[in-house]
């Protein structure tokens, strides 16, 4: 196989899987790992992939992972306030669902240090890793096919497993919260379907969102706002929005 043909095949595999590993490619093509590393270096110079330790990821995949990391380090203080307010709504022995959200990570940071016997259901990797350290927490994790940002699972296998539970309280992330339109939106359709299902199955549910997301709208409408019990955010909303939320029967909790 010619060099150009091998590199074209590598790009095909990368576009299909999102990532490739040097060792696997060497076995597939019957060449040395050093030859594969040279291929990846050449393709990176051409702007066709991004090398990582032991392999490479597609440019699109790298952007998605970068975006996920950026969300983790933005609005940190606001997320801590929202998380603290959310934890106050939990009672020991509640079954709590923590959605894929950077605020869920902040909630997990609080619960990790707790002595209470909480029961937590989640599909977010960071929450799993954090809460697994506390032996008093009864932890349920919904796996399946990992999403593109590598922070959690949202697919048909995940949905089937998670639908068997009936949480006492669910904390749901949203990219957009439009009170006037009575709409909750996300950028990911599979994640949106799961969010809607957990709102439906939980005894109570709250949207956890920074105030900058109030009034925003994304590509996928996953639920009407009046299907949840409340919104937890970090700053007071304009009176008109607070009134509109109350008319929908939605409580606004402002984290102090």
What's the confidence (pLDDT) of residue 148? 60
Give CA–CA dist 44/236, Å, rounded.
47
**Whose structure tokens read 């998605």?**
64
Using N-to-C axis directions, what is the helix angle for 22-29 and 3-17, rounded to 10°? 130
Is domain 71-254 given the CATH code 3.40.50.1360 in the classification? yes
Q: Indicate where the chain has its CATH 1.10.10.10 domain(s).
A: 3-62
Q: What is the dihedral of CA 88, 91, 95, 100, to 10 degrees?
A: 10
Q: Which of 51-55, 201-205, 211-215, 244-248 has the lowest mean pLDDT?
A: 51-55
Q: How confident is the model at residue 232 (pLDDT cuts 50, 70, 90)?
A: very high
What's the confidence (pLDDT) of residue 96? 98
Q: What percent of the chain has pLDDT over 90?
A: 62
Instruction: Tell me the two tokens of residue 100.
Output: 């894929």
Instruction: Tell me the two tokens of residue 167.
Output: 């949480």
What's the confidence (pLDDT) of residue 46? 79
Distances (CA, A) of 1 to 7, 14, 29: 10, 18, 8
Is domain 3-62 given the CATH code 1.10.10.10 in the classification? yes
What's the confidence (pLDDT) of residue 69? 52
How many residues comprise the chain? 256
- How many CB atoms within 10 Å of residue 179? 25
47 vs 91 pLDDT, higher one: 91
pLDDT of residue 146 exceeding 80: no
Q: Indicate where the chain has its CATH 3.40.50.1360 domain(s).
A: 71-254
Q: What is the pTM of this model?
A: 0.71
Phi and psi dihedrals of 28, rounded to 5? Answer: -65, -45
**Tens digits of per-residue pLDDT, 148-195?**
666 788 778 889 999 999 999 999 999 999 999 999 999 889 899 999
**Tens digits of per-residue pLDDT, 25-50?**
999 999 999 999 999 988 888 788 88
**Tens digits of per-residue pLDDT, 52-85?**
878 888 765 554 544 555 555 456 889 999 999 9
Give the chain's mean pLDDT. 88
Q: What is the DSSP string of 166-203?
A: --SEEEEE-SEEETTTTEEEES-HHHHHHHHHHHHHSS
Average pLDDT estimate for 214-235: 95
pLDDT of residue 212 exceeding 70: yes
């Amino acid at each position: 196989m010619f060099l150009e043909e091998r590199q074209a095949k590598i790009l095909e595999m990368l576009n299909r899987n999102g990532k490739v590993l040097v060792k696997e490619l060497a076995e597939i093509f019957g060449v040395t790992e050093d030859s594969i590393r040279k291929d990846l270096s050449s393709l990176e110079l051409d702007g066709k992939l991004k090398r990582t330790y032991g392999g490479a990821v597609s440019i699109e995949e790298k952007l998605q992972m970068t975006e996920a990391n950026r969300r983790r380090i933005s609005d940190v203080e606001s997320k801590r306030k929202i998380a603290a307010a959310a934890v106050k709504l939990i009672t020991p022995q509640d079954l709590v669902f923590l959605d894929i959200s950077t605020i869920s990570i902040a909630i997990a940071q609080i619960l990790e240090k707790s002595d209470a016997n909480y029961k937590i259901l989640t599909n977010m990797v960071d929450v799993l890793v954090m809460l697994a350290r506390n032996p008093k927490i009864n932890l349920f994790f919904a796996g399946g096919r990992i999403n593109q940002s590598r922070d959690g699972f949202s697919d048909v296998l995940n949905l089937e497993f998670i639908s068997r539970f009936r949480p006492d309280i669910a904390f749901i992330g949203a990219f957009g919260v439009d009170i006037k339109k009575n709409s909750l939106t996300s950028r990911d359709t599979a994640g949106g379907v799961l969010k809607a299902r957990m709102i439906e199955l939980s005894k109570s549910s709250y949207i956890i969102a920074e105030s900058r997301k109030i009034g925003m709208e994304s590509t996928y409408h996953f639920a009407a706002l009046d299907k949840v019990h409340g919104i937890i955010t970090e700053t007071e909303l304009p009176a008109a929005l607070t009134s509109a939320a109350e008319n929908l029967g939605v409580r606004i909790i402002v984290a102090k």
